[in-house]
Amino acid sequence: MTTPLTDPATDPTALPGRPRVVDRESWQAARDELLAKEKAHTRAGDELAAARRRLPMLEFDGSTQVVGPDGPVPFRKLFAGRDELLVYKHMWYDHTPHQGQCEGCTFTAWHLRDAVYLAARGVSFAIVTEGPWDEVAPFVDFMGYTQPWYSVRGLAEPIGGPMGTFAVYLREGDRTFLTYDTTGRGVEGGVGTFALLDMTPYGRGEAWQQSPAGWPEGHQPCWYWRTDVEGTPTFGPTSRPAAQWTRPGATPETTLGRHGHHHG
């Protein structure tokens, strides 16, 4: 017989703002109940992935020029000789210092620094942005990114278009096709930190998440993407995208410098 879950309001051993305390048998029973839901969620995800793989394709001109470290090159060069290509489209603020660039895209791109297992599966990876290459190149160097970056300034979908998205392409010889794209929370598949935070008692700490009464209050969405030099989350002028504080030359700032036009 299991011990019923304690009520924090009446149990003197309960910890305020924490999960209820139970014995091992009761904990395992609750864990098993959740596991059944997790398995159903996994199977539903498998069905979605199967449907995603069967989407029809959109053909486009793979000879369209994009700009990288070697100057203008045809988009099909991003395939690097492979048949499949995954691209992340990074937002950009024109004429803006590094600390003023998009914190959400920095958050995503930082998780994609090593695509070795995509390549092992035959999938190339690249990042594109609407920023002019002469501004993008110093940013890429500052961040220490080694994945391929290209400017797609002025180009329409499916090469350019809205930023903050993933796009997937397939190549058949010189023919190129768009097979899938996603934005919003759809990009979370590339961000392992989200999945790990979702395992913790307090989760992401955002205002929208469901938390019991007494839990720490949530903040605005993505509030931890930027911090000041002390590591305190803030979107204020003294902030940088959190990953930037690991980069040589990152100094305390007084402005985001977002005086240019926002592309994406």
CATH number at residue 118: 3.40.30.10
What pLDDT sits at residue 14? Answer: 74
Note whether residue 10 is domain-resident.
no
DSSP 184: G
Note whether residue 212 is domain-resident.
no
Note whether residue 141 is domain-resident.
yes
What pLDDT sits at residue 11? Answer: 62
**How many Cβ atoms are within 10 Å of 208's Cβ, its own excluded?**
8
What pLDDT sits at residue 243? Answer: 97
Per-residue pLDDT of the chain (264 residues; tens, 9 = 90+): 444 444 555 565 678 888 989 999 999 999 999 999 999 999 999 999 999 999 999 999 999 999 999 999 999 999 999 999 999 999 999 999 999 999 999 999 999 999 999 999 999 999 999 999 999 999 999 999 999 999 999 999 999 999 999 999 999 999 999 999 999 999 999 999 999 999 999 999 998 998 888 888 889 889 999 999 999 999 999 999 999 999 999 999 898 887 544 443
Domain count, the chain: 1
Note whether residue 25 is domain-resident.
no
Note whether residue 209 is domain-resident.
no
Q: Which domain holds residue 64?
A: 58-185+259-263
Is 176 buried (19+), middle (13-18) or exposed (0-12) by CB count in 10 A?
A: buried
Note whether residue 219 is domain-resident.
no
**How many Cβ atoms are within 10 Å of 157's Cβ, its own excluded?**
14
Note whether residue 39 is domain-resident.
no
Note whether residue 91 is domain-resident.
yes
